[in-house]
Amino acid sequence: MEYKIDENYAEARVDRFLKKMLPNTVLAEIFKGLKNGNIRVNGKKTKENSRLVLGDIVSITRIPGEPLDIEEEKNKDRIKLSTEELKEIKESIVFENDKIIIINKKANLVMHKGSGHDYGLSEMLKTYLDNNDFAFVNRIDKATSGMVIGSKTLPAARELSEEIRDNKIDKRYYIIVEGIIDKKEFTQTTYLKKIEDRVIELDRFEAGAKESISHFKVIKTMGNMTLLVGQLDSGRTHQLRVQLSAIGHPIVGDYKYGAKKRVKRMMLHSYYLEIPKYNLKFELPIPEDFSI
């Protein structure tokens, strides 16, 4: 099997490229293949930390203990989409070009396979787009709905990941919380630390904690609840959920972090997305099921 390096993998490390091509092969076996010459670059032995160059030819004969078929390995995440799933994907596309795709994820749909789920939105999109390089560059919780960003190429994934890391992508959320918040606007600056499957809030730094900044604006009150807009200066796991719960206003439907009112879904929706680098801006209406 041979693979010619295109712009997606130029400058990638050999071992990382091979792991991408052979996701079900352990690194130890890949290293053996490099060492014994069963994997070569331009016909020559190479080291795992070498960098690939545009136009390089990676040839693979056999890795010990593995039936070496790159196409078979690459397609292991492919699933059969039902007619309903195909319809849902098409209806969920907010924007698409040759680099990225913006998806309006429905509530209670997982982003990736695992934790009891054979597949998630990522695997569905890989199949729908017929693209093994597809990857989400940000994610939202299963119970959260709204816009997420997917990349179609590895250069786009790297570019968008850098924009997210540098806080250059604006993401905002509609949120309904329990209780009345009497401030018009407020900011929460705390430290969040993940412990097993939960996140805790700290008022000072300790090992493993990360500074987390969120801005909130009250839109209106509804009975004993408040509709907010939340905006992130950082993107930590469960950030909005934990910070709002910590001030005594858990998100409606967020039973992990203290919500009491029984509803069908968590009231957290990613409605606004702006990517200045690509001159893109999108705003979704409040979804129909986003109500009490």
66/208: higher pLDDT: 208
Q: Quick one: CATH architecture of 2-76?
A: Roll (3.10)
Report pLDDT for 32: 86
Report pLDDT for 276: 96
DSSP letters of 155-178? HHHHHHHHHHHTT-SEEEEEEEEE
Query: 108-151: per-residue pLDDT in tens?
Result: 999 988 778 889 999 999 999 999 889 999 999 999 999 999 99
Report pLDDT for 91: 96
Please give the Cα distance from 279 to 289 (Å, whole number): 30
Average model confidence (pLDDT) for the chain?
89
pLDDT band at 77 (very low <50, low <70, confident <90, very high): low
CA angle 242, 244, 247 (to 5 degrees): 110
CB within 8 A of 82, min separation 6: which ones?
none
Report pLDDT for 68: 47
Report the CATH superfamily, name and number, of domain 78-165: Pseudouridine synthase (3.30.2350.10)
Of the candidates 131, 75, 61, 56, the one whose C-alpha atom is nearest the C-alpha of residue 99 is 131
Report the CATH superfamily, name and number, of domain 170-283: Pseudouridine synthase (3.30.2350.10)
Query: 11-65: per-residue pLDDT in tens?
Result: 889 998 888 888 777 888 888 888 888 899 998 999 999 999 998 999 888 665 5
What are 225's strand-pairing partners?
A: 178, 222
Mean local confidence (pLDDT), 268-275: 97
Domain parsing of the chain, residue ranges: 2-76, 78-165, 170-283
